[in-house]
Chain A
Amino acid sequence: MNVTYFLFFLFILFGTLIITYWAAQKEKTTRQFYAMSGSLSGVQNGLAIAGDFMSAASFLGITGSIALKGFDGLVYALGFTVSFLVLLFLVAEPVRHIGQYTVADVIYARFPCNNIRLFVSASTILISILYMIPQLVAAGLVIQLLLHVHYHISVISIGVLMVLYVVFGGMMAASWVQIVKTILLLSGVFLIVLIILSRFQWDFFSLVDQVSEKSPLAADFFLPGQLFRHPLEALSLNFTLLLGTAGLPHILVRFYTVKNQLLVRQSVISASWFIGLFYFMILILGFGTVAVVGVEHLKAIDPSGNLAAPLLAHALGGDFLTAFISAIAFATILAVVTGLVVTSTTSFAYDIYNHIFKKGDAKETEQLRVAKIAAIVIGVIAIALSLNLKQLNVTFLVSLTFSVAASIILPVLVLTLYWKRFNRYGVFCGMGAGMITSIVAVIFGPMLMSQPLFPLKNPGIVTIPIGFLGAIFGTFCFEKHEEDIPFQEFEILSQTGISVKKMVR
C-alpha cells in the first residue's frame, strides 16, 4: 500500500469525522436533524448543493469522456449546468415556501392524501438508493485500485462512513461534508489546471493544438458525433439532463436548509457558478489528459476513461498529486452518498413514520430514533446491492435515476405548482406512468439487452412526456377531489409562504 495515498485518505476520514462529531453536539431536534433549522447562508448552501450534485461521475467520468470523445463529452457538463435554470425559475422558491422537510410535503400541501405522501416518499427513497449504488460501486473500484484494498472492504467502509455521518450528524454533518468537499474539489481541480497551463507556457491554444495532434480522433475531437451515433440519443440525453436535476429529491431538500426565498435564489445561483466553473476546468483537464497522458495510455489502463483525472495528476505531480486528487475523489463520493442517505432517511422518518403511521403525532425523540434506524437500514440495503452489482455496468443506474427523477417527480411537481386544474388522480397517473415507462425503457434498452427492444440508452425524451401526459390524462378523466386545496389559496402559499390556514375566510 502506498503510504502517501493512505495518509491523504486518512486526512479526509478524520476531517469528516471531526465535522460529524461537531454536528452531533448540535443535533438535538428533528428540525436540526432534517434541515439544520434553515441555518445555512446562501453561498454555503450553494456550495453544499454543488457538493451534492458534483458526483464521481462528474469529476472522473466527464474528464474521461472529454479525453476520449472530445466535444460530445461536454454535453453532460452543459446539461447539468443549464438544468439549474429549471430549478431556479420553476421549482426552488415554491418548494421552500410550501414544504418543511421533504418533496412529499409540497405535493401533499395541495392534495392532502396519505397515499400521495407515501407514493412520493417511496419514489424519493427509490431514487436515492438507485443513485447511491453507482456511487458506492465507483468508490469501491477507486479505493481498490489506489489503496489495493479488496472491493468488498472498500464498499463496506464507505457505506459504514455514510451511515455514521447521518446517524450522528444528520443534515448538518451532510451539509458541512458537502461544503468542505466542494472547496477541496474546486481548489484541487484549479491546481491541476494551473499546472497544465504552466506546462504549455500559459498558452491555452498551444494546449489545444497538442490535443488535435495527439488525439486519435485528430481534428474530429472538436466535432460532435463521437459519443452519440444517433442524433436522437444526444437529444434525449440533453432533455433528460435538463429536466432531471429539478426532480432529484436530494437537491430539492437542500432548499429547506436556508431561511427564506432570497437565500434560496442565492443558493441556486451560486451553485450554478461553482458548477459551471468546475466544468470549465474539467474541460481543461480533459484536454490535459490527451496532451499529457495520451489516450492510448489511458485506454490501456482504463478503457472507460474514468481514471483520466488520477492519471493526469500522476503525470503532472507524481504520487503526491495523485494521492491528493484521489482523496478528493473519495471525499466527492462520500459527500454525495451522505446527502442521499440523509434525504431518504428524512423521507422515511418524517413522511412515512410520522405522518402515515403516527398521523403526525410522533414525538421528537421517537422520530430521531426512527430516522437513525432508517439510515442504518437504507445503508445496509445500498451496501448489499452494491456488493452484488460489481460485475454489472452500473452506469445504467445513473441514467435510470435521472430518467426516473425527471419522469416521476418533475411532471407532478411542476403541474402541482402551476396547473390550476390538476388534481390528485393526475398525481397518481403521472407518477405511475413515469415510473413504469422509465423502468421498462431501461430494462428493455441497450444498457441491459444485447438486442434491445427499446433503442435509446437515455429514455428521457419518451418517458418525461409520458409522465406529463399521464398526469394530464388522470386529471381529465377524474373529477377534482373535495379535499384538494383550491389553487388560488395554494398559489398564495407557493408565492409567499403564508399558510392558507392563516387566512380569514
Chain B
Amino acid sequence: MKPCDRDDWQEMIAKKKRFLFRMVAVFICFYFTLPVGVILFPSFMAHRVLSHFTVAWLVAFLQFVMVWAMGMIYYFKTVTFDRLIEKIVARAHRTRRIVK
C-alpha cells in the first residue's frame, strides 16, 4: 500500500485542501470588494473616513494588511501539515513502502 492509499494521508490532504480553499475564498472575495464596491456602491466607497481618505482607500490599505496577515497564518498553519506529512512518510519508510 502506498501512502496515498492510507487513511491518514487522505485525511491530511482533505484537511489541507479545506484550509487552502477557505483562505483562497477569503482573499479573493476581499480583493474584489474594492472594484465591485466601486461599481455597485460608489457613494458609500466615496464616503470620507479620515482626512481626504475614503472607504475605498481604507479597503485598499486593508488589502495590504490582509496579504501580510494571511501570509503569516499560512506560514504557521502549514508547519502542522509538514509534521503530519513527515509522520506519514516516516511510517511508510519504516514499513519499507518507500525505497530510500
- What CA separation (Å) do A126 and B25 show in the bound complex? 32
B contact residues, total (Cβ < 8 Å):
48
Are B24 and A89 in contact (CB-based, < 8 A)? yes
Are A224 and B27 in contact, with the CB atoms below 8 A?
Answer: no
| CB-based contact A498/B31 at 8 Å | no
User: What's the least CB distance linking A373 to chain B, in Å?
Assistant: 39
Q: Does A502 contact B (CB under 8 A)?
A: yes
Chain B proximity mask over A60-82: 1 for CB below 8 Å, otherwise 0:
00000000000100110010011
| Chain A residues closer than 8 Å to B56, beta-carbon distance | 71, 223-224
Selected contact of A89 from candidates B5, B64, B74, CB within 8 Å: B74
Q: Which of A81, A221, A265 contacts B74 (CB 8 A)?
A: A265
Tell me the A185-210 residues at the B interface (CB within 8 Å): 205, 208-209
- Residues on A with C-beta less than 8 A from B64 are 78, 81, 276, 279-280
Known A85-B71, A504-B99; contact A489-B54, beta-carbon cutoff 8 A: no
Q: Quick check: A222 and B54 within 8 Å, CB to CB?
A: yes
Selected contact of B75 from candidates A85, A265, A498, CB within 8 Å: A265
Chain A residues whose C-beta falls within 8 Å of the C-beta of B96 in the assembled complex: 504
Q: State whether the Cβ of A88 lies closer than 8 Å to any Cβ in chain B.
A: yes
With contacts defined as CB atoms under 8 Å apart, how many contacts are there between chain A and chain B in the complex?
126
Complex formed: what's the CA distance from A275 to B30 in Å? 19
Cα separation A265 to B2 with both chains bound (whole Å)? 27
A457-505, CB < 8 A from B: 488-489, 491-492, 495-496, 498, 502-505
Chain B positions near chain A (C-beta within 8 angstroms): 2-5, 9, 13, 16, 20, 23-24, 27-28, 31-32, 34-36, 38-39, 42, 45-46, 51-54, 56-57, 60, 63-64, 66-68, 70-72, 74-75, 78, 82, 85, 89, 96-100
Given known contacts A81-B64, A265-B78, A272-B71, what 20 new A-B pairs fall within 8 Å (CB)? A78-B64, A82-B63, A85-B27, A89-B23, A89-B24, A209-B51, A222-B52, A222-B53, A224-B46, A231-B38, A231-B39, A238-B35, A265-B75, A272-B68, A273-B68, A276-B64, A488-B4, A492-B4, A495-B13, A503-B2
Show 24 residue pairs from A and B whose CB-CB distance is below 8 angstroms, ordered by the A residue.
Answer: A78-B34, A78-B63, A78-B64, A81-B67, A82-B27, A82-B66, A208-B52, A209-B51, A222-B52, A222-B57, A235-B32, A238-B31, A261-B82, A265-B78, A269-B71, A272-B71, A488-B2, A488-B5, A492-B3, A495-B85, A502-B99, A503-B97, A504-B97, A505-B2
